[in-house]
Amino acid sequence: MKTINTLKAFAAAIILAVSFNANATANPVESDSNSNSTYYVFNRYDNVQAHDYDIWEFTLLAGESYLIVVEGDGDTDLDLYVYDENGNEIDNDTDYTDYCICSVTPRWTGKFRIKVKNYGDVYNHYNLRVSR
């Protein structure tokens, strides 16, 4: 089993901490006229090797809705899985494309894991976006 890349997890934690800071500036994805905005919590480009997977860990807040999107380079089938801190799968997108979407609204604040699995024979360069 592949272990979580420490550098990736550290970078994700820093980005997550900054995006939840009320005084920090977030990158808006879209906004509506009621001033409710959706913000990137995490936006990262990375490669997942052939027949391998990446795992990302985030602290998500109770009651907040998150949209998790993986958009690959078109070369292979990518699947997306979301797990709670107890290892329970809470959502997935397992079709035969490399464009995946999951929606999560945690009932508690805790650590959640996102797994991006590559089923192809070559690497896939993907963009992972977590927004709220």
Q: What is the 3-state secondary structure (H, E, C) of 111-128?
A: EEEEEEEECCCCCEEEEE
* Identity at 77, one-letter amino acid code: D
Q: Identify the pLDDT of residue 18.
A: 35
> Is 80 exceeded by the pLDDT of residue 44?
yes
Q: Identify the pLDDT of residue 16.
A: 40
Q: Identify the pLDDT of residue 37.
A: 61
Q: Identify the pLDDT of residue 39.
A: 79
In angstroms, rounded to a whole number, what is the distance separating the alpha carbons of residues 126 and 123?
10
Q: What is the pLDDT of residues 45-61, one digit of tens each?
A: 999 999 999 999 999 99
Q: Identify the pLDDT of residue 17.
A: 38
pTM, two decimals, is 0.72
In angstroms, rounded to a whole number, what is the distance separating the alpha carbons of residues 40 and 109?
18
Mean pLDDT of 67-83: 98
Q: Which CATH architecture has domain 6-28+38-131?
A: Sandwich (2.60)
Residues 57-91: b if buried by 16+ CB within 10 A, e if exposed: bbbbeeeeebebbbbbeebbbbbbbbbbeeeeebb
